[in-house]
Amino acid sequence: MKASDYFKKTFVFVFVFSLAYRIVIQLFDGLDSFNIKFFLKTLFVSTLTALILGVLNYFFKIEFIKKSNKKKNSNNTQTTSRMTVDLLLGLQWGDEGKGKIVDVLTSKYDIIARFQGGPNAGHTLEFDGIKHVLRTIPSGIFHKNSINVIGNGVVIDPVVFQKEIEGLERFNLDIKNKLIISRKAHLILPTHRLLDAASEASKGKAKIGSTLKGIGPTYMDKTGRNGLRVGDIELEDFKDRYRALADKHEAMIKFYDVAIQYNLAELEVEFFEAIEDLKKLTFIDSEEYLHQAQKEGKSILCEGAQGSLLDVDFGTYPFVTSSNTTAAGACTGLGIAPNKIKEVYGIFKAYTTRVGSGPFPTEDFEEDGATMARVGNEFGSVTGRQRRCGWLDLVALKYAIQVNGVTQLMMMKGDVLSGFTTLKVCTEYSYKGQNIAHLPYNIEPENVTPIYKEFKGWKADLTGMTTYDELPVELKNYIDFIEKEVEVPIKIVSVGPDRKQTITK
């Protein structure tokens, strides 16, 4: 109700009440004694009284409404601030460019939290002419105002982690105060790496393309309730626990009956030296830390590794990683409740790549695929392995958007497609004699054939462009088509590796 309405209602109520009161008094005195002057005086007094009270009530209500709105807005602001937990995920088979986008977005967040994966997944950042590759440390480490959390869903190799920190020393970063680690994160032991190598070697031609970093065996120990966690380092019997698990691993390596050369004693010296360096950092109960951060109104960006199509449940199994790379992994990998998550940023390339074995429906084995690999410098940031390249697969992209509940998209490496006369986008699969637009259980080449829609390419060099209006019309048409098909807006278009080569739509 408006404040002016309160004035009207107050005036009418007081006037009617006063007038009625005077009439009743007059009736009690008798109609014979009715005095017209007295009645008019009563009418005037009633009107004046109603007017005064109405004006007072009007201003009182205005002040009341202002205070109420101010309190309401304050509550809304507090709620929004507490709810600022956003996710950033890869929507393909990894290597989408998540590190760069996290780096671009970091200034908006107080905390950057990594929620899954191990040191096989490198995030590449490039700025000020320097290329940085991070393996375990969150991508916000280069921003002085951000706290970086390694969550319980991550597996940490202390040796690799030690080298990663040493590589950052020359940048004078405050790592000790800006990097904190969950006590519940699991440790990769030297014997985990040996187990990984033995398991892959035993498969022969059926290899899944493991990076041999020990990540799979570590997650197996986690789910098998055998693993060692960061918090165990603080226990007096840590070395005894280590020895028991390492001995068990060696027995398993013998079971594989493959020739692997190693000197475990040397590997263990390196491992325990790295453990001592790890102790210098702060260990936290991360779920409690992040809960308190939300209560204090701090903003959190949850950072994933790899891509959604490598998720152990929803990826192209068994050619997947060993953790949940989708949005659900952020909840279990950090201890954040699902209803606290606001935005889900999905990152994808303007084309598609994949490392290692596994089905890849839109892979291009001709000159176009080779050109994408060469221009896009498609080699693993950690492993150095060459990536397989092909056209954008909208069937797989829509699937990943659906599984993650993506609210905004960021398209990477649009500049790599400059120079192609014709572009292709897979819109459907031919699957068992039918055209389908969803990702089926099996996308091996004998079951799936991609159906393409062609687009006119562009020749312009995008790398120097800074606004969306500058982009060629052919690229805008390409973007518009993708948005229409997936029904999610593309908010950022990357036109180069540097953080400055990022266009906001």
Cα angle vertex 306, ends 305, 307, to 5°? Answer: 115
CA torsion sign for 67, 68, 73, 74 is positive
> What is the DSSP code (8-state) at residue 211?
-
> Is residue 118 within 8 Å of 164, Cβ to Cβ?
no
Tell me whether residue 192 is one of the annotated catalytic residues.
no
Amino acid at 492: I
Q: Write phi, then psi, for 360 (nearest 5 degrees).
A: -155, 85
> Is residue 316 within 8 Å of 443, Cβ to Cβ?
yes
Q: CB 68: neighbour CB atoms within 10 A?
A: 10
Q: Catalytic residue among 86, 95, 221, 393, which?
A: 95
Kindly state the tokens that stand for 343. Answer: 């935005």
Tell me whether residue 123 is one of the annotated catalytic residues.
yes
CA distance linking residue 473 with residue 495, whole number of Å: 15
> Is residue 143 within 8 Å of 107, Cβ to Cβ?
yes
CA distance linking residue 126 with residue 261, whole number of Å: 37
CA distance linking residue 149 with residue 331, whole number of Å: 14
Amino acid at 2: K
CA distance linking residue 380 with residue 357, whole number of Å: 14
Q: CB 219: neighbour CB atoms within 10 A?
A: 23
> Is residue 422 within 8 Å of 456, Cβ to Cβ?
yes
Contact residues for 23 (Cβ-Cβ < 8 A; gap 6+): none
Q: Which 3 state secondary structure label does DSSP give 344?
A: strand
CA distance linking residue 93 with residue 360, whole number of Å: 9
SS (H, E, C) 340-400: HEEEEEEEEECCEEECCCCCCCCECCCHHHHHHHHHCCCECCCCCCECEEECEEHHHHHHH
Closest listed residue to residue 386, CA positions, set 355, 362, 363, 358: 355
Q: Catalytic residue among 123, 132, 143, 249, which?
A: 123
Q: How far is CA 388 from the centre of its chain?
A: 25
CA distance linking residue 105 with residue 83, whole number of Å: 17
Amino acid at 455: F
CA distance linking residue 435 with residue 428, whole number of Å: 6
Contact residues for 363 (Cβ-Cβ < 8 A; gap 6+): 352, 354, 369, 388, 389, 390
SS (H, E, C) 6-47: HHHHHHHHHHHHHHHHHHHHHHHHCHHHCCHHHHHHHHHHHH
Q: Write phi, then psi, for 149 (nearest 5 degrees).
A: -115, 130
Q: Which 3 state secondary structure label does DSSP give 172?
A: coil
Query: Going by DSSP bridges, is the β-strand pair 408-412/490-494 parallel, antiparallel, or unpaired?
Result: parallel
Residues belonging to the active site: 95, 123
